[in-house]
Amino acid sequence: MTVFESVQTVASLATAVGVAIAAWQLFLTKQQVQSQFEDSFTDEYRRISAQLPLAALLGQPLGKVELEASLRAFYEYFDLSNEEAFLNNRGRLRRETWENWCEGIEQHMARPAFKQAWERLVPCLNGSFDDLKELMATAGLVDNESPAPSLAHAAEPALDNAHGERQRG
């Protein structure tokens, strides 16, 4: 092998290593951007959950006045959950992230106050929240036979789940 061939071989190897490093950097950047994207939803969840009554988060039913006063926060929670389901249905979330979020959504939607708010709002949601409605039907949280979904068949969730956090599982 001549010196020229040796230099050419080393240059080819260096190029291959450079391409591999660049591909790895792109992969890491994509993972970081995906994490930031998903973390923005966790931040939004925390903002919304701070507006929800503590009793609702602890699995207690709400009185009529407290429920009515909290409907906006519940609506925002349902909207966020619908958006998360929409993004998952379009392949925009990592599987592990969606599994964690889905578990949190299902547990929240099984709580009495969330059921109350859903049943209060669902008659007004014609043509919207389809991804959340589909998730709830798949999870067995709604009765598909009745015109207004009922969550009466859902099991009571564990109280320590915090929707949107990666440590759930």
pLDDT in tens, 56-80: 999 999 999 999 999 999 999 999 9
Q: Give long-range contacts, CB 8 A cutoff, 24+ apart: 69-75.
A: 70/113, 70/117, 71/117, 71/120, 71/121, 73/48, 74/113, 74/114, 74/117, 74/118, 74/121, 75/117, 75/121
Start-to-end Cα distance in the chain:
59
Task: Report yes or no on 69 lying in a domain.
Answer: yes
Q: Is residue 10 part of a domain?
A: no
pLDDT tens-digit series, residues 141-161: 875 443 343 333 333 333 333
In a domain, 111, yes or no: yes
User: What average pLDDT does this structure show over 130-136?
Assistant: 94
The answer to whether position 160 is within a domain reads no
52 within a domain of the structure (yes/no)? yes
Residue 74 lies in a domain: yes
33 found inside a domain: no
Range of the domain at 114: 39-138
Domain total in the chain: 1
Is residue 61 in some structural domain? yes
